[in-house]
Amino acid sequence: MTTKPEITLRALEPEDLDLVHGIENDAALWQWGSTSQPLSRYTVHQYLANQHADIYLDGQLRLVIEAEGKSVGIVDLSSFCPHHLRAEVGIVVLSECQRRGLATQALRQLAEYASQHLHLRSIYAYVADENAAGQALFRASGYTPLAQLPRWIEGRHTATLFQLLLT
């Protein structure tokens, strides 16, 4: 029996430049997110240098997913709304680290943090219907599919809105 490696979520560090730059510039991911053009190393460096790691100041919180002492991805809360106590979830696990349960653990830890420390009541994600792995991940993580949104991504792809209610 193999055991899944335990993960930790931690704040971004300047040393994460290559990780963040690589993820932001992976054109294969652009269709699922809001990036549509390459970012320079300088732009990512400036982002890392100027972010406060405070969702109230930045409107978002990005955390590095670590497993076995290695950075394996990023999970974030964005579109933070303190009035309605909700935020949007995004997650990327490096392709060579996928299918090991790391994303499921990261979403679980993020939900606990969002509930206990940020006092959010709801987190949600938009997942393209073509992204079968993403759909399965959010379903397996306890998110409820609420709505189908036609032409939501790139003006042509249908997405499903998933929500997780927090205590």
pLDDT range class, residue 3, cuts 50, 70, 90: low
The single-letter DSSP state of residue 100 is S
Question: What is the per-residue pLDDT for 94?
Answer: 96
Digit-coded pLDDT (tens) for 14-50:
999 999 999 998 888 877 777 778 889 999 999 999 8
Domain with 125 in it: 7-165
Digit-coded pLDDT (tens) for 120-135:
999 999 999 999 999 9
CATH code of residue 90? 3.40.630.30
Question: What is the per-residue pLDDT for 30?
Answer: 77
Question: What is the per-residue pLDDT for 1?
Answer: 47
Name the pTM for this structure.
Answer: 0.92
Element (H, E) at 6: none
* Number of domains within the chain: 1
Among candidates 31, 28, 14, 21, which has minimal Cα distance to 95? 28
Using CA atoms, how far apart are residues 139 and 162, in angstroms rounded to an integer?
Answer: 8
Residue 89 maps to a domain: yes
